[in-house]
Structure 1
Amino acid sequence: MPETPTQVPADHPFRRKGRGTDGLIKFFFASNAGLTIVILVLIIVFLIREGSSFFPSYRAELQLYRKAGLEFVDIPRKDLTAHEQMSSLLNRAYFAQVNEGCREEMLRSQEAAAIVSYLGDAVAPAQTALQKVTENAGDAGVPKELQDKLTAKYKELLGEGVAGKFGTGLPTSPHLSEAERSQLISAFGARAPLSTDDPPLIVTIQAQLAAKKAEASQPLADFRAAIDAFADASAPLDTLVMETGDTVKATKEAANLHEIEVAKRETLLDAARGAKSAEAKTQLEADAQAAVTTEPVDFKMYLEPVLARLTEFKEANAALSAALAEVQQKLPAKLADDKADRYLATFRKAVDQYSKEISDTMPAMESWKNDAPIGLGTTIWGFLSGRDWITGGEWQDFYGIIPLFTGSLLIAVIALSLAIPLGVGAAIYTNQLAGRRQQNFVKPVIEFLQAIPSVVLGFLGIAVLGTILQETSTKDAFSWMPGFPIQQRLNMFTAGCLLGLMAIPTIFSLSEDALNNVPSAFAEASDALGASKLQTVFRVVFPAAISGVLAAVLLGLGRVIGETMVVLLVAGNRIKIPDFTEGLGVFFQPAHTLTGIIAQELGEVPFGSVHYRALFVVGMVLFAMVLAINWTAQRLLHKFRISHE
C-alpha cells in the first residue's frame, strides 16, 4: 500500500494556508538559496562601494602631480631608468663572461665559504656565550672553570657540525679535494673559539679567484671601458633630475599643506554651524580662520625655474644619444659564453626602442603643460595598464596592476603546467584503467590534498621545496638550465609548484566525474568494433568528456588565481614586472600577485585612503577574473550535459 503522507496539525500556519510538509521543506531550502544570492549581491555592492571613489581620488592626485611639475621631471627620469637598464644588460654580459672564465675558482670559493659558514653557525651558541662572559668579566678575567666548560661545549658543537648533525648537514664540496676539505675543517677546529679569522685555505682560494678574474677580464678591458663610459653619460641628466625634482617636490608639499589647512577650516566651520551656544560657535569660527596659514600655490611661478632649464635637458639628452652611438661601435661582435652573448644580443635588440625613447623625450617636454586636464578614462586606463605599483613614497604614488597581473599569470602557468597532466592523467587512470582496489586507494589520497591547509604548504615551500631547488640549481649537472643557479629561494616557480599541488584534487575530481558521465554505450560500441582499451579511452571516451575536462581545468585555474597564503609566503613579493630577457629563467624570479598585495597591504593602509580604495579595485578586478573563469567553466559543463541528453 502507498505510504500515507505525514499529517500536519490542523492549527499549523502552513496547514491554514493550504500547505503541507513538502511546502515547509521547499520554503526552507528556497530561503537558503535566496540567502546565498543576497550574500553574493552584498559582496558585489560592498566591493563597488569601497572601490568606486578610488578613480576620482586618484585622478585628483594625478592632477596635482601634473600641476606641481612632477610629471615634467618624470619625462627625462624615464630616460634615466631606461639608461640604467641598458647599462645593466652590458654589465651582466661582462660579468657573465668573466665569471665563466673563472667558474671553477668561483665554485671552489663558494663551497669553502659554505663549509666555514656552516661550522660557524654550528658553534655559534657556545661562541656567543663565551664572548659575552669575556666582555662581562673585564680585567678580572673569566674563571677557568667556566671557560673550560664553555670551551668544551664549543668543541662538542664543533664535533657535531663536522659529523653533519647540525641543521641540514655539512655542505657538499664537489670542487674541493678531500685533502682540501679536511684541511679546511682542521684549520677551523684549530683556531681559538673566539677567533673569526678565515682559515688559510679560504685566503688562498680567494686569492686564486681574484687572479683568475683579473686574467679573464684582461681581454675585455676595452669592453669594460666602453660600459663605464656609457654608464657615466647619464651623470648630467641625473643631476638635473635631482635638482629640479627637489623644486617640484617642494611645490607639491606646499600645495598639500594648503589643502590640509583648507579641509581643516571646512571641518571647523561645519562644527560651528552645528554649535549649540553662541560662544562655542564664535570660538570655532575663529579657529577656522586661523587654520589656514598658507596662500594658494601659484604653480606657474614655482615652475618657472624648472622650465628655464629646458636647454640643459636638451644637452643632457643629446649626451645620452651620443653615448649610445659610441658604445655600439665598441661592443664585441660576440661573446664566448652563451649567457653573456644572450645579454649582449638583448642589448642590441633594445637599442632601437631606447633610441626612440630618447628622441621622444624633448618633444614631450616642450609640449608639456601643467594645466592640461586628466580625464577619468585616462586614469582608469592608467590603472589597468600601469607598470608601477608604488605606494608610500615621497615622490608620487602610482597604482598599476600590470606587475601584479603578470605575477599571477606566470604563477598560474607554472601551476597548471604541473596540475593538468597530473590531475587529468590520474583521472583517466583511475576511471578507465585502474582496478577497484587501486581506485579505492588513489581517489582518497588525491582528494586528501584538498584538506591540507594552504599555510602548511607555504611552510613546506619555504623550508623544503625552495631550499632543495636552490641547492640543486648550484650543481654542475644543471648549469645548462635557464635561470640556474637560482638566486632567490622564494620565487614564482616554487609558488607555482605548490599551487599546482593544490589544484590537482580539483582537476582530478571534476575530470573523473566528466569521464564517468560519458555514456557506457560509447565504450561498448568501440569495443565491439575491435578497438583496444587505450584506443577506446583516448579516441572515444576522453574526446567525449573534453568539455567537462576543460571545465575542470578552468575551475582549477580559478583556484590558483584566487589563492593567497601560498603566494604571500613563497612567491617573493617583489612588485616588479619580471625580466623576460632571462628566457625560461623568468619563472625563477620573485614576483607579487593580485591576491598577495591585498593580503599584505590592506591591514596597514589608512582606512578610506586612496591606497585603501586601490586595493578594493584590485579586489574587483580579481573578482571579475574569477567570476569569468567560473562562468566559462559552467558554460562548458552545460554544453557537455546537453551533448549527452
Structure 2
Amino acid sequence: MPESPSSNTVPAGHPFRRKGRGTDGFFKAFFAGNAGLTIVILILIIVFLIREGAGFFPKYREELEIYRRAGLEFVDIPRHDLKAHEQMTSLLNRAYYAQVNAACRTEFLRSSEATAVVSYINEAVTPAQSALLRVQENAGETGIPKELQDTLSAKYKELLAEVLAGKRGDGIPPTPHLTKEEREGLLAALAARDPMSTDDPPQIAAIDEQLSLKQAAAGEPLVELRATIDAFSESSGALDTLVSETGDVVKASKEGATLHEIEITRRNTLLEAAKTAKTAEAKAALKADALASVTTEPVDFKVAMEPVLARLQEFRDANAAMTRAAEEVLPKLPAKLEDEKADRYLSTFRKASDEYKRELSDTTAKMEAWKLDAPVGLGSTIMGFITGKDWITGGEWQDFYGIVPLFAGSLLIALIALSLAIPLGVGAAIYTNQLAGRREQNFIKPTIEFLQAIPSVVLGFLGIAVLGTILQETSMKDSFSWVPGFPIQQRLNMFTAGCLLGLMAIPTIFSLSEDALNNVPSAFAEASDALGASKLQTIFRVVLPAAVSGILAAVLLGLGRVIGETMVVLLVAGNRIEIPDFTEGLGVFFQPAHTLTGIIAQELGEVPFGSVHYRALFVVGMVLFAIVLGINWTAQRILHKFRTAHD
C-alpha cells in the first residue's frame, strides 16, 4: 500500500533535507525558547522583588523596637488623642465656614476671580519686572542708567500689552461674577501700575473688604457656635503642652541611641578592616581608630523614661479635661444648619463623637499598661504595614510605613476610571459589533485602538494643562454649585487622574469586549430572529448574556491596566499621602491623593540604597505585583471558562 504523503515532508533538494533536519523542529525550538525566556524573566522579576524587599520587615521591626524603648510610642498614645481632637475641631470649623461661605459665595468668587486675574498678569510680566528690580538693587547710589531703564520698561510694557490683549497662553482668566466696569477698571489699574511696583491694585482691596463685611454679617447669627467651637478647640491645650515637653525628652533618648548604634557600627567596620590590614602599623592604626570611634554610652531607656512616666497624673488630668469638653459641646451645637454642606459636617461630628469619647477613655489605660521592654513581634510589624494609615518618611520623630492611604488612592482612582471606561468601552463594542455598518466598523475600531498609542506622559500633560484647568474653572460657576465637591480647590485630584486613566482603559475594554461578542455563535442570534425578537432584544437578551464572561474579563484586564499605571497618577493625582476625607460624600473624588505606583516612582530615586525606606518601596512593588497578577489571572480564568463553554 503506498505511503500517504505527510504535511511534514521536506521537498527534495531542500537544505534541511540534505542535512537531515526538518523545519518543524527548528521553529518549534525557536518559539519554545522565546516562551521559556519569558518565563525566566518573570521568575527573575519575582526573585528580584523578594530579594530587595525581604529585609524590610526585620529592619522595620528594629526601628519599631527603638521607637518603643525610647518612649516615642508612649508619647504617641496621647498624641493620637490630639490628632483626633484636631480632626473633630476641623469638622466644626468646616461646618461654621461652610455656613458662612454659603451666604458669601458670590463675594468669595468675586475675590477669587479678581485675584486670579492679578496673579495671571503678574506671572506674565515677571521676567521684565524682576530684571528691573535686580538692576535697581545693584545700581546703588548711582541709580539705574536711563537707557537701561527705558529698555527694561519698554520690555515690561510690551509684555503687559500682550497679556492684556489676550495674546499669551489661554488668555486672561474669566470673571463672570465681576461687572464689566469692575473688570475693565482692574485691567486699567494693572496697565497703569508702575513697572517697579508689585502691589495689588486698589480694586482687590475693595473686593476683599466687601467679602470681609459679608462674612462678618453672615457670622453674627453664629456667634454662640463660634464661641462653642473655640472653647472645644482650647480644651486640648494642656495635653498639647505635655506631649510637646515629654516628646523632647524621648526624642533625645532616641537620638542618643541612634548615635551610639552608628558609632558601634563604625567600630565594627574598622575592626573588620584591621583583620585584613597588610601591615602591623595599619592594623594598629585601624584598631586605635575603632576604639576612639565610640564616644557615647549606651542609653539606659528605663532611667530616661522616669521623668516622662512621673507625669502620668498630668496626662490623666489633661485627658479628663478633653473628655468633659467633648461631653459639653454636643448640647451647645445647633440642631441644624441651613447650608446642606455645613449640616453634613455637623452631623458627621455628632456621629463621630461617641468614637472620639471612647478613644479618649481608652488612653489612660493604654498608657498605664505600656511597657518599654515589651518585644515587637514580626507579625504585628507586617500587620502594621498592611493596615497602617500613615506613610511618613524623613521625619524627625519616627518613620511609619502603612499602605492604606496609598491603596485607598489607587482604589478610588480606579473606580473613577472604570465608571468612565466600562460604559464607553462596552457600549462602543456593542455598537461596533452589532449595529454599525462595515464602513463605520472600519473607522471606529482603528480610532479607538489608536488611543493605546498615546504616551501616558502626554495624557498627563493634557490633564494638567487642559482637563484640570477646565474642571476647576467650571466648578466655580454658580450653576454647578449643587455638585458635591464643587468648587474644586485643587485642579490636580483623583477625578482628573481617573478620567485620564479611564481614557487609557477604553481601548483594552473595547477590544476584548468586541472579541467576546464576536465569539458568540451566530446561531444564537439567528434563533432569536426566527422567534420574532427585535434587534435590540436579541442584543440585550441573547448576545450580551452569552458574552458576559468575556466582557467581565475585559473589565478586569482594564482594571489591571488602570491599577498599574504610573505616569498619569504621578502627574495629575495631586500626590497627597492621606486617607481621603469621606465626610465630603461624593466630593471625596475631587481630593488629591497618592497611589501605590506613584509612591514608587516618586521616592525610589531619592532614597539611600539598601535603607529601610528603599526596601519598603520594594514591598509596595510586591503588593502591587500581586494585585495586578491576581486581576490578570482572574481575567484569564474567566476567558478560559468562556471559551470552553462555547467550544
- TM-score in terms of structure 2 length: 0.95
Query: Are 2:588 and 1:593 equivalent residues in the alignment?
Result: no
Name the counterpart of 1:254.
256
Q: What is the letter of the counterpart of residue 261 of structure 2?
A: E
Deviation digits for residues 90-115 of structure 1 (CA, Å, limit 9, x no counterpart): 11111111112222222222222233
1:493 maps to 495
**Pick aligned residue for 1:401 from 397, 400, 403:** 403
Per-residue CA shift, 1:388-443, capped at 9, x if unaligned? 01111111111100000000000000000000001011111111111111011011
In terms of mean alpha carbon deviation, does 590-599 or 205-214 score higher? 205-214
Q: Within 5 A, what are the aligned runs for 1:139-288?
A: 139-142=141-144, 147-288=149-290
Structure 1 residue 113 corresponds to structure 2 residue 115 = yes
Structure 1: runs of 5+ lacking an equivalent? none
Q: Does 1:446 align with 2:451?
A: no
Q: Deviations over 1:20-44 (max 9, x none)?
A: 2211111111111111111111111
Decide whether aligned partners of structure 1 residues 438 and 406 sit closer, same or farther in structure 2, where only a CA change above 3 A counts.
same
In structure 2, what is the equivalent of residue 340 of structure 1? 342
CA contact (8 A) 1:8 1:21 kept: no
Match of 2:436 among 434, 437, 447: 434
Distance 1:350 1:518 in 2: 52
Cα deviation, 1:101-142, whole Å, max 9, x if unaligned, reads 222222222222233333333444443444444445555555
**Aligned with 2:344: secondary structure?**
helix
Does the 8 A contact of 2:271 with 2:286 survive in 1? yes
- State the AA in 1 paired with 2:111: S
Equivalent position amino acid for 1:90 in 2: L
Q: Deviations over 1:322-349 (max 9, x none)?
A: 1112222221111111111111111111
Return the TM-score normalized by structure 1: 0.96
- Which shows bigger deviation, 404-413 or 108-117? 108-117
Letter of the 2:595 partner, please give it: T
**Paired residue type of 1:413:** L
Q: C-alpha separation between the residues in 1 aligned to 2:352 and 2:327?
A: 13
2:88 corresponds to: 86
CA distance 1:309–1:119, change in 2 (3 Å): same
How far did 1:359 drift? 0.2
In structure 2, the CA distance between the partners of 1:148 and 1:53, relative to structure 1 (3 Å rule), is: closer
Deviates more, 1:367-376 or 1:251-260: 251-260
Q: Is the 8 A contact 2:104 2:215 kept in 1?
A: yes
**Aligned counterparts of 1:125 and 1:297: Cα–Cα separation in 2:** 55
What is the distance in 2 between the residues matched to 1:264 and 1:495? 47
Query: For the residues of structure 2 that align with 1:579 and 1:278, how far apart are their CA atoms?
Result: 66
Residues 608-627 of structure 1 aligned to structure 2 (within 5 Å): 608-627=610-629
In structure 2, what is the Cα distance between the partners aligned to 1:570 and 1:201? 34
Structure 2: which amino acid aligns with 1:334?
K
> Could you say what secondary structure the match of 1:195 adopts?
coil
SS at match of 2:540: helix
Matches of 1:156 and 1:267, distance apart in 2: 65
Match of 2:302 in 1: 300
Q: Which amino acid aligns with 2:98?
A: A
Rounded to whole Å, the distance in 1 between the matches of 2:590 and 2:333 is: 29
2:29 is matched with: 27
Matched residue, 2:363? 361
Amino acid at match of 1:493: F
Q: Relative to structure 1, is the Cα distance of residues 199 and 290 closer, same or farther in structure 2, using a 3 angstrom cutoff?
A: closer
CA displacement 1:222-269 (0-9 Å, x = unmatched)? 111111111111111111111111111111111112222222222222
1:16-55 superposed matches below 5 A: 19-55=21-57
How many percent of aligned residue pairs carry the same amino acid? 75
- Report the counterpart of residue 566 of structure 2 in structure 1: 564
Identify the match of residue 10 of structure 2 among 5, 11, 17: 5
Q: Distance in 1 between matches of 2:507 and 2:298?
A: 62
Structure 1 pair 172–282 and aligned structure 2 pair: CA distance change class (3 A) = closer
- Letter aligned with residue 394 of structure 1: E
* 1:467 paired to 2:469: yes
Question: 1:294 and 1:337 mapped to 2: Cα distance?
Answer: 61
The amino acid across from 2:287 in the alignment is E
Give, in whole Å, the separation in 2 of the partners of 1:351 and 1:373: 34
Aligned pair 1:582/2:584, yes or no?
Answer: yes
Q: Distance in 1 between matches of 2:477 and 2:527?
A: 53
Please report how far the alpha carbon of residue 270 of structure 1 lies from its aligned counterpart in structure 2 after TM superposition. Answer: 2.3
Cα distance in 2, alignment partners of residues 256 and 142 from structure 1: 56
CA distance in 1, matches of 2:68, 2:476: 48
Q: Is the 8 A contact 1:8 1:20 kept in 2?
A: no
Given that residues 424 and 506 in structure 2 are in contact (C-alpha distance below 8 angstroms), is that contact kept between their aligned partners in structure 1?
yes
AA matched with 2:10: P
Q: Give the one of 414, 424, 427 matched to 2:426.
A: 424
Question: What CA distance in whole angstroms lies between the structure 2 residues aligned with 1:163 and 1:450?
Answer: 39
Distance 1:262 1:465 in 2: 55
CA shift, 1:219, in A, is: 1.3
The CA distance in 2 between the partners of 1:643 and 1:145, in whole Å, is 85
Residues 1:144 and 1:336: Cα distance change in structure 2 (over 3 Å): same
Decide which of 363, 375, 378 is 1:376's aligned counterpart. 378
**Which residue of structure 1 aligns with residue 546 of structure 2?**
544
Instruction: Write out per-residue CA displacement over residues 173-228 of structure 1, whole angstroms, 9 at most, x where no aligned residue.
Output: 22222222222223333343333444333332222222111111111111111111
**What amino acid is aligned across from residue 447 of structure 2 in structure 1?**
V
Aligned-CA RMSD value: 1.9
Q: Tell me if structure 1 keeps the 8 A contact 2:16–2:22.
A: no
CA distance in 2, matches of 1:418, 1:525: 34
Aligned residues: 640
Contact 1:495–1:571 (CA<8 Å) still a contact in 2?
yes
SS of alignment partner, residue 545 of structure 1: helix
1:262–1:292 contact (8 Å) kept in structure 2: yes
Asked if the contact 2:10–2:16 (Cα under 8 Å) also holds between the matched residues in 1, the reply is no
Match of 2:63 in 1: 61
**Distance in 1 between residues matched to 2:627 and 2:513, nearest whole Å:** 22
**Cα pair distance change 1:489/1:9, threshold 3 Å:** closer
Letter of the 2:182 partner, please give it. Answer: E
Deviates more, 1:153-162 or 1:625-634: 153-162
C-alpha distance in 1 between matches for 2:333 and 2:270: 66
Change (3 A) 1:56 1:533: same
| Rounded Cα–Cα distance in structure 2 between residues aligned with 1:409 and 1:113 | 36
Residue by residue over 1:587-638, the C-alpha shift from the partner in whole angstroms, topping out at 9 and shown as x without a partner, is 1111111011111111111111111111111111011101100110011001
Deviates more, 1:547-556 or 1:120-129: 120-129
- Provide the rounded CA distance (Å) in 2 between the counterparts of 1:153 and 1:555: 55
CA separation of 1:200/1:614 partners in 2, compared to 1, >3 Å: closer, same or farther?
closer
